[in-house]
Amino acid sequence: MAKNVVPDGERRRRRPTRSGVVLSESVIVDTALRVLRGHGASGLTARRLGAALGADPSTLYRYFAGMDDLVRAVGDELVGRAREAWRPAGDWHADLRDLGLAIHASYLEHPHAAVLTASRVTGRPREIAVDEAILGLLRDAGFPDAGAVRLYHAFIDLTLAFAALDAGALTLGDDERAADEAMWTSTYARLPADEYPHIAATAHLLAARMPHSAYPMVLGVLLDSAAGQLARSR
């Protein structure tokens, strides 16, 4: 059962931990990201996190209701970093594309955290700020509310789905990932043309493209389609 969280004003530890760190939510989230990078999603435990902070594991519950609450905070951190890196210029199409790429890149910087959090709804302030920004871009561009919500839904799910997919590949070991990428030349490129004529004809193109993310292309298709619908509605 989750423990009671200490009120905001009482959370900060007065004395440094054994490692000399004064705890806060942001310090714990940053440490959780380091633990995830080193040990993967299954390695993020209160005991390991407490050891990394130089604090008793129970101290974490002064800041978070439980480990799931911490996972949501990690997801909120990744989205928040993308929002901070984003520089809107006043064109909804370009701004939404840039925001999507920023979110995707933020998740890929922490692939284990991405796999753990991409499917979660955090309900935290930084995620809420991004959702507000997206809906604001679309409504200000002239999309009716129902259309803005549909496009928001497609945009955010597309972005997070690709973040999880591409991050999943990055969590593989170097040898596993190299073997997967080599499959396009070691197997697909050697398939008999009489049995697989279409693969044989495009094998060199598949080998060049498939190791890379399709997210930028698919995002462009989504936004171009939305722009066309908006223009026709006018």
Tokens of 228: 């066309």
**Cβ contacts of residue 166 below 8 Å, gap of 6+?**
104, 108, 111, 213, 215
pLDDT in tens, 71-125: 999 999 999 999 999 999 999 999 999 999 999 999 999 999 999 999 999 999 9
CA-wise closest residue to 92 among 148, 153, 141: 141
pLDDT in tens, 181-229: 999 999 999 999 999 999 999 999 999 999 999 999 999 999 999 999 9
* pLDDT tier, 3 (very low <50, low <70, confident <90, very high otherwise): very low
CA-to-CA dists, residue 45 to 34, 40, 65, 83, 213, angstroms:
12, 10, 14, 28, 31
Residue 91 has φ and ψ, to the nearest 5°, of: -115, 115
Whole-angstrom distance, CA of residue 58 vs CA of residue 13: 13
Assess contact for 113 and 42: CB atoms under 8 A.
no
Could you give the percent of the chain with pLDDT greater than 90?
Answer: 89
* pLDDT tier, 16 (very low <50, low <70, confident <90, very high otherwise): low
Residue 1 clears pLDDT 50, i.e. is over it: no
In order of their start, the domains of the chain are 1-65 (1.10.10.60), 88-233 (1.10.357.10)
Residue 2 clears pLDDT 60, i.e. is over it: no
